Structure 1
Amino acid sequence: MMETMSSLSRSTSFSPTTSFSRSTSFNRSTSFNRSSSFKSRTLSVGSPRFSQSSWVSRVSQFSWVSRWLLTLIVICIFISFLIASYGGYIYVMPSLNLAFHGYGVSEYAHSINSCNVFDGSWVADDNYPLYNSTECPFVEQGFNCLANGRRDTDYLKYRWKPNNCDIPRFNVQSILDKLRGKRVVFVGDSMSRTQWESLICMLMTGVEDKKSVYEVNGNKITKQIRYLGVRFSSFNFTIEFFRSVFLVEQSWIPRHAPKRVKSILKLDKLDSISNQWVNSDVLIFNTGQWWVPGKLFDMGCYFKVGNSLKLGMSIPTAFRTALDTWASWVEEKIDTERTRVFFRTFEPSHWSDQTRRFCNVTDHPMLDTKGRDQSIFSDTVHEVVKNMTVPIAALHVTSMSSFRSDAHVGNWGDKPSLPDCSHWCLPGLPDVWNEIVLFYLPNDKELPFLGGFEPWHSGG
């Protein structure tokens, strides 16, 4: 079943406004009578001693005032110079940093700590797509929209631009070298499989011998297989996918269960194949699309905790319980000094109505999310991650994906009669998810804290 889901505006606005109001007001109001007026004037002009001493006194007074004002002006100019120098340093140094070191580690170290990459917008970019789906054998037919007859290609030409930083351009050789000897594991539903296929195709663009990239068991990419692994033999690493749509264990009808119960989810026990996820270097989880009545209650699937059936438990409560189980498992089983753990949030669908029969795939991203940027599943992921004692990254793709009504499979899947406004075309949106994951794979041991939505939690 189809699954749902500035420029450093350093307003270094330094207005060192130094205002001097020099108002020297001499208000001399001297009243003379006629008899004394002439005498006074005679004294003023004819008495050299009086005239000289008065002049000296006034000159002395003016000199003192001038020196005081001059000193004040010098001080103010000096302070203004310091402020302007500091502002220039703040403004210029990041540019110099890029000029000397390039757009790489230094910019990455700055952006990763100060920018929320999930707060941004979609911008047209002719450098996309990152690969040709016809040259990648790991794109399954149902996601290969171009091969299935889609003619408009504008949906391929969009890049995600965070508001306060940039995601570095995808450098395939750098990533291939970084992944040497590593093991990357995706766990989840078909949305995870789509992202898995996307990453393989992105990395294959940097491999000369395409035959050196192969599925380890010779399997064809299908939705039924629980494990798929693609090996890049020239670089000695694997990209793997484990199908676990609920993450917790699903089993058949228990004894003495009501007739409506056909299967159960053991909310307090992780999937039985979870031991195969442990020894990995990058571990990316996702679930949500199957947590709907049509995949649960309508199919007779209910919840169980311990020995108790929870027939009245709501789906949101069950989802939270399952994620708490996942979190405890990660804290106990995963060595986060070695393994980078990510949890990708819910991917919104764009069905035209609740029947899921009508799928309006647009030519360009939407201007209004119409509420699709909100999800109780995504909120739950953030709440659980926030309370964990080990560093985990929540990849908040819900909001950014909610604009991409143009990126769905639509009528260009492997079954044209069945429209699809849940899954995504490849190349397409999942490539951007992978760009963000690769952005957060630093060279050093310690993973930095992601800003904005606070998806990184350092524990404690």
Structure 2
Amino acid sequence: MGGAYFLAAFVVLVSITSLSTHVDGKIARKGCDIFQGNWVLDSSYPLYESWQCPFIEEQFDCRKNGRPDMEYAKYRWQPSGCKLPRFNGVELLRKLKGKEVMFVGDSLSLNQWQSLTCMLHVAAPQAFYTSQTIDGLSTFTFPEYDVSLKFSRNAFLVDIKSEERGRVLRLDSISTAKFWRGMNVLIFDSWHWWIHTGRKQPWDWVVYENTTVKDMNRLVAYERALNTWAKWIDSNVDPTKTQVFFQGVSPDHDSVQGSSAANCGGQTQPLKRPGSPHPAEVVLENVLRSMGKPVYLLNITRLSQVRIDGHPSVYVHGGHKDMDCSHWCLSGVPDIWNQLLYTMLI
């Protein structure tokens, strides 16, 4: 492609309309639905190069793993009715001074947390940082700004425990919620592991109320778990001290509806249009609507559905033997999720 292809105002011919314009008014910013819009090629993107982030996970570092193209990282998100502010990492660090931010979820939450740590490090490269992981809790701090970014791995939000009878998924129990207390910003995510079957299924039994089953409808189980999570938030979170976000459902492209592509392998351009509404997306929005406390939906599902080009595909490790159409390259799509989060925080 010629240099003109990277002009800042080149608009990809795909327009995303959110599944709903709001969740009880909680995702709008000044009357604009920031999740409805277009992907635009912009020569000033990406916001950072992966080599500038020395702590980036191997599975997300597509360039280091041999991906030859770079256009997937040059898209920014343009809402239809307003303009997103450009990410300013120093401004965000100042805004978060003295605060603790925690991402809670699966490896897609890790994907977003790592993106944000990279964005902030590159924005303030001279700022000293510390990073450690203890008992599944990763903590990245900027002592100069007194800001702490944490990632707590909890793929289901509810408990899954090893018992004598096997691995038990308890849809009515959240023992790890004690780690959420005292956080100033909480960003949750859960869906990816709910759909695994066979040897990848992470549980042997599912328990809810007084019922024990080997398995159940995954959307029903997901909804039960989300309702347990929602009850905890409604009972324990003080909105004057803690902002709560839900990442939304990150789409995978292991198969592609309405496209000749079998999966994300070899894809270097976004799709022209998103697929049908994600069923988990519908469940999530219904649960959020039922809540008493404000939870802000980071509604990344539809805008990410077209980004088949943004996954690691075979560039997840150096050997090029695996195919990853679930996670996202960094730099890349999760940086835009964090730009949207930034817009909602400032």
TM-score, structure 2 normalization: 0.85
Could you tell me how far 1:312 is from its partner in structure 2?
5.6
Are residue 268 (structure 1) and residue 172 (structure 2) matched? yes
Could you tell me how far 1:401 is from its partner in structure 2?
0.1
Are residue 113 (structure 1) and residue 113 (structure 2) matched? no
Residues 202 and 315 of structure 1, relative CA distance in 2, 3 Å threshold: same
**1:183-236, CA deviations, whole angstroms, 9 ceiling, x for partnerless residues?**
1100000000010000011111232425x112145xxxxxx9621000111111
1:226 paired residue among 131, 136, 142: 136
Matched to 2:137, the amino acid is Y
Q: CA separation in 2, counterparts of 1:178 and 1:323?
A: 30
Residues 423 and 295 of structure 1, relative CA distance in 2, 3 Å threshold: farther
1:435 paired residue among 336, 339, 344: 339
Could you tell me how far 1:321 is from its partner in structure 2?
0.6
The root-mean-square deviation of aligned C-alpha atoms, in Å, is 2.2
Matched residue, 1:368: 273
User: Does structure 2 retain, via aligned residues, the 8 Å contact 1:216–1:231?
Assistant: no
Q: CA separation in 2, counterparts of 1:191 and 1:144?
A: 14
Residues 300 and 186 of structure 1, relative CA distance in 2, 3 Å threshold: closer
Are residue 344 (structure 1) and residue 247 (structure 2) matched? yes
Are residue 136 (structure 1) and residue 136 (structure 2) matched? no
1:156 paired residue among 73, 95, 111: 73
Matched residue, 1:166: 83
Q: CA separation in 2, counterparts of 1:279 and 1:266?
A: 25
Q: CA separation in 1, counterparts of 2:216 and 2:324?
A: 30
User: Does structure 1 retain, via aligned residues, the 8 Å contact 2:183–2:242?
Assistant: yes
User: Does structure 1 retain, via aligned residues, the 8 Å contact 2:264–2:309?
Assistant: no
Matched to 1:150, the amino acid is R
Sequence identity, in percent?
35
User: Does structure 1 retain, via aligned residues, the 8 Å contact 2:253–2:263?
Assistant: no
Matched residue, 2:191: 288
2:77 counterpart SS class: strand
Matched residue, 1:179: 96
Q: CA separation in 1, counterparts of 2:216 and 2:315?
A: 38
Q: CA separation in 2, counterparts of 1:284 and 1:403?
A: 23
2:233 counterpart SS class: helix
1:240 counterpart SS class: strand
Paired residues, what number?
Answer: 315
Residues 281 and 152 of structure 1, relative CA distance in 2, 3 Å threshold: same
Could you tell me how far 1:163 is from its partner in structure 2?
0.7
Matched to 1:172, the amino acid is G
Q: CA separation in 2, counterparts of 1:347 and 1:173?
A: 27
Could you tell me how far 1:295 is from its partner in structure 2?
6.8
Q: CA separation in 2, counterparts of 1:344 and 1:301?
A: 27
Matched residue, 1:407: 310
Could you tell me how far 1:399 is from its partner in structure 2?
0.2
Matched residue, 2:145: 235
**1:309-336, CA deviations, whole angstroms, 9 ceiling, x for partnerless residues?**
0346311111111000000000111111
**1:134-186, CA deviations, whole angstroms, 9 ceiling, x for partnerless residues?**
12122101110111111111111101111111111112221121111111100
Could you tell me how far 1:359 is from its partner in structure 2?
3.8
**1:83-119, CA deviations, whole angstroms, 9 ceiling, x for partnerless residues?**
xxxxxxxxxxxxxxxxxxxxxxxxxxxx813111111
User: Does structure 2 retain, via aligned residues, the 8 Å contact 1:352–1:360?
Assistant: no
User: Does structure 1 retain, via aligned residues, the 8 Å contact 2:265–2:323?
Assistant: no
Residues 149 and 225 of structure 1, relative CA distance in 2, 3 Å threshold: farther
Poorly superposed stretches of 4+, deviation over 4 Å: 295-300
Residues 251 and 190 of structure 1, relative CA distance in 2, 3 Å threshold: same
Matched to 1:367, the amino acid is K
User: Does structure 2 retain, via aligned residues, the 8 Å contact 1:361–1:408?
Assistant: no
Q: CA separation in 1, counterparts of 2:282 and 2:207?
A: 23
Are residue 324 (structure 1) and residue 227 (structure 2) matched? yes
Could you tell me how far 1:239 is from its partner in structure 2?
0.5
Matched residue, 2:129: 213
Q: CA separation in 1, counterparts of 2:203 and 2:296?
A: 34
Q: How does 1:84-95 map to 2 (within 5 A)?
A: none
1:424 counterpart SS class: coil
Matched residue, 1:60: none
User: Does structure 1 retain, via aligned residues, the 8 Å contact 2:230–2:287?
Assistant: yes
Which 5+ residue runs of structure 1 have no aligned equivalent?
Answer: 1-110, 218-223, 256-261, 443-460
Q: CA separation in 1, counterparts of 2:283 and 2:78?
A: 26
Q: Is 240-249 or 295-304 further displaced after alignment?
A: 295-304
Q: CA separation in 1, counterparts of 2:58 and 2:345?
A: 30
State which structure, 1 or 2, has the greater radius of gyration over its C-alpha atoms.
1
* Larger helix proportion of the pair: 1
TM-score, structure 1 normalization: 0.65
Higher RCO by CA contacts (8 Å cutoff, separation 6 or greater): 2
**1:422-452, CA deviations, whole angstroms, 9 ceiling, x for partnerless residues?**
110000000010111111114xxxxxxxxxx
